[in-house]
Chain A
Amino acid sequence: MTGKVKDEIMHDHNGDGIDRRGFLKCMAWAGTGALCVMSGGVLKSYSLSRLPDLSQKEALGELSFVQISDSHMGFHKPANPDVAGTLKAAVDKINALSAAPEFMLHTGDISHLSKPEEFDSVDQILKSAKPKDVFYVPGEHDVLNDDGKQFLERYGKGSKGGGWYSFDKKGAHFIGLVNVMNLKAGGLGTLGHEQLEWLEDDVKRLKHSTPIVVFAHIPLWSVYPEWGWGTEDSAQALASLKKFGSVTVLNGHIHQTMQKVEGNVTFHTAASTAFPQPQPGKADSPGPMKVPAEQLKSVLGITDVNYVQGQHALAVVDSTLA
């Protein structure tokens, strides 16, 4: 382990024992995304950091895609001064997969301040990913100041209302929902009446056996309402999906991985490509979590990285649904 640490510090400009490469390696604790594999109509999700453990057969399935989230391009505070670097690291991991995933989902907070140049930077970085199609839903950071006008112009072609849409891939039905608009004082994420009606109508024609994948920024389950980590009217959305045998819900927003199985529905949240946030209630606020320098050093070794992965990886899901 000591040898490994020495290996990694090659350009220590700040004298803190961490060079850029080492820093990016540290960021492995933040996770970088999830590989989702549809097999037998059931979706399994794997942390990108855990892929070396994944067998070729597991990684294929009928359909595989990648979820990335919360890139926060433009953020430059101590919790991560190089969000472009960590997003590039995620793309490198995606490109290293033996079979290229069919497409990517970005579950919002692409930008930090909705600035055009922030969106441009993300677009530029994602261009170098092997999967060419990226499906987006907005996070609250993507719709600042203009009620999402710019987001819709860039990413919302063919979408309905405030940017929601659905599409089919290899027999699975994907639904992108928007729950970051028209938020009410004291409330949580909101889907709204119009979107809920559309959803009910959208799934009417589908067979009960169709695997459903819903993706939205703010969790569609009550993770921690005290911090706004939930969606007011998500129960109504899930009621529309009751008849389906396999429903997977993918969210971002909380910058950490969590999963929950409730009847026919499996919920996942993805890690951020930018910076981690505290576990629910474990800090005064859900602000960016700066890992102390001494802790950063301690996660430089492979053993420690594995330990941290153990806390964050989504891999549990495959055993639950097997």
Chain B
Amino acid sequence: MRRSVSIAVLTAALVIGMGTISMGHKNFLAGAQQKQEATEVKIDNFSFGPATLTVPVGTSVTWTNRDDIPHTVVSTDGVFKSKVLDTDEKFSFTFSKAGTFPYFCSIHPKMTGKIIVQ
């Protein structure tokens, strides 16, 4: 009898504990997913998508080149500059100040985009 009670208590404690962990994990994941959706720029068919992206101060934006041809991500005002990105390569930059940051591909300068940091 005593033994089964202690097992029940232990099980309950374990369930609660796991619930807390999984809830915390879930919240963390949801937060990360939301953030990722909002801060990714995809390079497809010689264009940046979205061409204009608005993010809060402190956000890290990641560009991914999905073309068969290399591209770059270069700030028009010299704030950031990626190395050349081959297919599937990424570049990230964290925007710590508010403002509008126009950028382009220095290899194909017809490709332009803008990050608005608020």
User: A and B from one assembly?
Assistant: yes
* A residues whose Cβ falls under 8 Å from a Cβ of B: 77, 79, 112-114, 140-141, 144-145, 183-188, 226-228, 284-288
B112 within 8 A of A: yes
A293 vs B83: C-alpha distance when bound (angstroms) = 34
Interface size range on B against A:
20 to 34
Cβ of A141 and Cβ of B70 under 8 Å apart? yes
Closest to A190 in B: B109
7 contacts between A and B (CB under 8 A): A77-B68, A114-B84, A140-B107, A141-B107, A188-B109, A188-B110, A288-B68
A144 to chain B, nearest CB (A): 4
Contact for B46 among A140, A141, A145, A287, CB less than 8 A: A287
Instruction: Determine which of A113, A140, A226 lies in contact with B110 in the assembled complex, contact meaning CB atoms within 8 Å.
Output: A226
What residue in chain A is nearest B47 (Cβ atoms)?
A285
For B106, list chain A residues within 8 Å (CB).
183
**Is B49 positioned at the interface, with any CB of A under 8 Å from its CB?**
no
Q: Is B92 an interface residue (CB 8 A)?
A: no
Contact B112 A185 (CB under 8 A): yes
The answer to whether A186 and B110 touch across the interface, beta carbons within 8 angstroms, is yes
Q: Is B69 an interface residue (CB 8 A)?
A: yes
Docked complex Cα distance between A226 and B108 (Å) = 11
* Bound CA–CA A116/B83 (angstroms): 16
Q: Does B112 contact A186, Cβ atoms closer than 8 Å?
A: yes
Give min CB distance, A237 to chain B, whole Å: 19
* B residues in contact with A185, CB < 8 Å: 76, 102-104, 109, 112
Nearest CB of chain B from residue A151's CB, rounded to whole Å: 14
Known: A185-B76, A188-B110. 20 other contacts (CB 8 A): A112-B70, A113-B86, A144-B72, A144-B107, A145-B84, A185-B102, A185-B109, A186-B109, A186-B110, A186-B112, A187-B109, A226-B110, A227-B46, A228-B109, A285-B67, A286-B46, A287-B67, A287-B68, A287-B69, A288-B69
In angstroms, Cα B70 to Cα A141, docked, is 8
- Cβ A144 vs Cβ B69 within 8 A: no
Query: Is B96 in contact with chain A by the CB < 8 A criterion?
Result: no
Chain A residues with Cβ below 8 Å from B107 are 140-141, 144, 183
Tell whether, in the assembled complex, residue A113 and residue B46 are in contact, meaning their CB atoms are under 8 Å apart. Answer: no
**Chain A residue at minimum C-beta to C-beta distance from B67:** A287
Residues in B neighbouring A288, C-beta threshold 8 A: 68-69
